[in-house]
Every structure is written in structure tokens, then in C-alpha cells.
């Protein structure tokens, strides 16, 4: 939709569906981690697995920034195209690069800690130790819902970049 005629209701529906799918994935991830920890799984393996997932996310974000294509569904691609159009290519790229840098620092730090810590002697109490993960999940949902509601204010005629100039 390069001509600027975006159907905001369709974009809102796409964003709601993606939010629902992300929530189901996070729920599955947290429940799987909980069962794994409760069954006495190795914390070293779990932390190493999370580091690997973070590095995969870094590569995915880097691919998205370079190609402006998403590894995923057509709805994800349409959402990305709308973000690029709405914020402008420069602004979107700056925000994406900031996200990439933060994710890279998180991945590098986690990997460094993975090789430095002795995780076999750490005791994990599942419900209490996962509160921070639940809070991150909650506040990211609140932010995404807020962004979906702000789409009603969006006027599809002008991109952010054209308003700034």
C-alpha cells in the first residue's frame, strides 16, 4: 500500500491477531519452562537455550532491517509495511537499529554470563522467580494495546516523515 490508503480497521485486526498469537506463544513458553524446572531440568541447558533463542532473534531483526521483509506470515509483513509507512523509512530504521543494539547487548551479556556462572548450584523456585517475566509480559501487552488504540487517531494521508518536514 505505497499510495497511502491504509485500511486502519484491517491493520488493527492484524495487530490484535498478532498480539493474541504472541500471547499464546509466551504462555506456552512460560508453562514449558515451569514444567521443565519443576521436573528437575538442568538450569544450564535452559539458560543456554534462552541464549540461543536471543541470538536467533538478533539475526532475525538484522535480516528484517536489511531487507524490510519478515520471516513469518503475510500479516506480519503487512504490519511491518504499515510501520515503515507510518513512521517513515528513516525513523523506522533508527528505532529498529536501537532495538537491534539493545537485543545484541542483552544477547552478548546473557552469553557472557552463561559461560561465567555456575548454574548447577542455583536453586530456582518457579512461581516466585518468574514474576519479573510475567510483569514484562503484562507491560508489553499494555503498550501494544495502547498502540492499537492510538491507530484511531492516525490519519492515513501523511506519514510521520512527511509531517516532520
pLDDT of residue 3 exceeding 60: no
**Per-residue cell: 124:** 530456582
- Once rounded to an integer, what is the mean pLDDT over residues 16-42? 89
Rounded-to-integer distance, Cα 138 and Cα 63, Å: 28
Domain around 54: 8-159
Rounded-to-integer distance, Cα 144 and Cα 141, Å: 5
Which tens digits make up the pLDDT trace of 66-121? Answer: 999 999 899 999 999 999 998 899 999 999 999 999 999 999 999 998 888 877 77
Q: Does 121 map to a domain?
A: yes
Indicate the SS3 state at residue 153: helix
Q: Does 2 map to a domain?
A: no
* pLDDT recorded at residue 164: 41
* pLDDT recorded at residue 7: 87
Q: Does 96 map to a domain?
A: yes
Q: Does 51 map to a domain?
A: yes
pLDDT of residue 2 exceeding 50: yes
User: Which residues does 164 contact at the CB level (< 8 Å), separation at least 6?
Assistant: 88
Task: For residue 132, count other CB atoms closer than 10 A to its CB.
Answer: 8
* pLDDT recorded at residue 124: 72
In total, how many domains does the chain have?
1
Q: Does 1 map to a domain?
A: no
pLDDT of residue 33 exceeding 90: no
* pLDDT recorded at residue 117: 84
Q: Does 79 map to a domain?
A: yes
115: left (phi over 0), alpha (psi -120 to 50) or beta: alpha
Q: Does 164 map to a domain?
A: no
User: Which residues does 64 contact at the CB level (< 8 Å), separation at least 6?
Assistant: 70, 71, 80, 96
Q: Which residue has the higher pLDDT, 7 or 61?
A: 61
pLDDT of residue 18 exceeding 90: yes
Amino acid at each position: 500500500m505505497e499510495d497511502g490508503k491504509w485500511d486502519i480497521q484491517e491493520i488493527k485486526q492484524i495487530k490484535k491477531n498478532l498480539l493474541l498469537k504472541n500471547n499464546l506463544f509466551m504462555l506456552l513458553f512460560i508453562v514449558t519452562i515451569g514444567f521443565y524446572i519443576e521436573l528437575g531440568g538442568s538450569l544450564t541447558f535452559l539458560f543456554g537455550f534462552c541464549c540461543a533463542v536471543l541470538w536467533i532473534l538478533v539475526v532475525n531483526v538484522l535480516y528484517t532491517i536489511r531487507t524490510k521483509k519478515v520471516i513469518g506470515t503475510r500479516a506480519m509483513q503487512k504490519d511491518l509495511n504499515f510501520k515503515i509507512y507510518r513512521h517513515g523509512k528513516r525513523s523506522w530504521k533508527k528505532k529498529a537499529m536501537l532495538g537491534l543494539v539493545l537485543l545484541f547487548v542483552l544477547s552478548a551479556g546473557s552469553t557472557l554470563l552463561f559461560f561465567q556462572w555456575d548454574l548447577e548450584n542455583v536453586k530456582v523456585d518457579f512461581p516466585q522467580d518468574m514474576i519479573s517475566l510475567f510483569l514484562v509480559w503484562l507491560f508489553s501487552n499494555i503498550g501494544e494495546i495502547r498502540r492499537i488504540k492510538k491507530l484511531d487517531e492516525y490519519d492515513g494521508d501523511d506519514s510521520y516523515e512527511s509531517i516532520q518536514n
